[in-house]
Amino acid sequence: MQKILSLSAAILFCTFFLSCRQSRTNQAQTNSDAKLEVIYFHTSLRCPACIAIEENTKKVLDEKFKTQIDSGIIKFIACNIDEKANKSLVEKYQISYLTLLIIKADGTKTDFTDSAFKYADTKPEKYMELLKAEIDKNLK
């Protein structure tokens, strides 16, 4: 019986972890006046990696792009996909799971989710370096 419970717990953990990593996005449009939007879609139930993505994304924006954030060139949004108030934004970008998008004013988007989950929690310095480079590239 103990083995069955342990196996069930392991399956449940793997299912939750893998569901956190998936993203489904197909189109990008923006109504913001910002030149670049960084949108982090998350759920109410958040794992350590999910929390690290938001914290380290904010850290990069605050430390490396403060002027652009303050002037409105870059806009950061943390969007809880479980909240009904966010339904239109979730539908607009066809979000089903945790996703980190970098969206240019022309609608071009970069899905940065894989890098975020790969590094934000385990190698935060590398994540922040990669995110900074991607934002710099998208600001050009």
- Maximum C-alpha span of the chain: 60
Q: Which class would CATH give 2-139?
A: alpha beta
pLDDT band at 33 (very low <50, low <70, confident <90, very high): confident
pLDDT at 32: 57
pLDDT top residue among 32 and 134: 134
Mean pLDDT across the stretch 27-31? 38
Does pLDDT of 137 surpass 60?
yes
Encoding tokens for residue 57?
A: 């994304």
Mean pLDDT across the stretch 68-81? 97
Could you tell me what percent of the chain has a pLDDT over 90? 75
Nearest of 55, 56, 68, 52 to residue 136 by alpha carbon: 68
pLDDT top residue among 20 and 73: 73
Mean pLDDT across the stretch 4-30? 41
Q: For residues 45 and 65, what is the distance between their CA atoms, to the nearest angstrom?
A: 29
Question: Domain-by-domain residue ranges, the chain?
Answer: 2-139
Mean pLDDT across the stretch 59-74? 97
